[in-house]
Amino acid sequence: MIKVLVADDQAILADGIKSVLSSCPDLEVVGIAKDGFDALDAVEKYEPDVVLMDIRMPNMNGVIATQEIKRRRPQTKVLILTTFDDSDYILNAINYGASGYLLKDVSASALIEAVKNAYAGDTILPAKIARHIADAARLVTNDREIKLKRKFGFSEREVRIALMIYEGFTNKQIAAALKLSDGTARNYISAIYEKLGASSRAEAAEKLRSAL
């Protein structure tokens, strides 16, 4: 039995996906998460084999949630579900360890097959662009990290937090996502500000935007 977690902030879609997956005797939907933070909690609680992750959700998007799930539980497969043809999101999600992506208009049989294939270790991508996206993913995100390390001398953890600042996350969201105390998160952020030569969140985000 393959345990599946559905993460989607649109309840009607999440329920529809659950209904489709539940029709297959080999799949068990163990929970539904309404945003990225909820997904992280649910992964720890239910230990799913596969997560079907909406790419755009409030509070924490599917890209950051994917990164954290793969960091905390590498064996869990993450499939990105999206209605958007957004290459930046897709590239980042794949680079952070997603097993691929599906558009939400996928057929029921194809969705079930994709979950099974992801569980088996396959990469789920449109065939014609699979190699292009996978290669570009590594190049794009690695390039961003290298740029930040070279320009500002960030550590690995500082790079991760700097990118979250760039994405608009608050201190509390960063602390929760990375399992840091509020004080530790503030210390990292202060160090990042100092290396950036910034005195505010807005100024830090602008300097990061310019560097990337």
Domain locations along the chain: 2-128, 140-211
- Model pLDDT, residue 124: 83
- Model pLDDT, residue 87: 60
- Model pLDDT, residue 129: 43
- Model pLDDT, residue 134: 53
- Model pLDDT, residue 44: 96
For the chain (212 residues), the mean pLDDT of every run of 10, in chain order, is 96 94 96 96 97 91 92 95 68 81 87 95 66 55 79 91 87 86 94 95 91 84
Rounded Cα distance between 68 and 35, Å, is: 13
Q: What is the CATH number of domain 2-128?
A: 3.40.50.2300
**Residue at 89: amino acid letter:** Y
Options 2.60.120.10, 1.10.15.40, 1.10.10.10, 3.40.50.1980; which CATH number does 140-211 get? Answer: 1.10.10.10
C-alpha dihedral (137, 143, 145, 151), degrees to nearest 10: -170
Pairing relation of β-strands 50-54 and 77-82?
parallel
Rounded Cα distance between 4 and 82, Å, is: 17
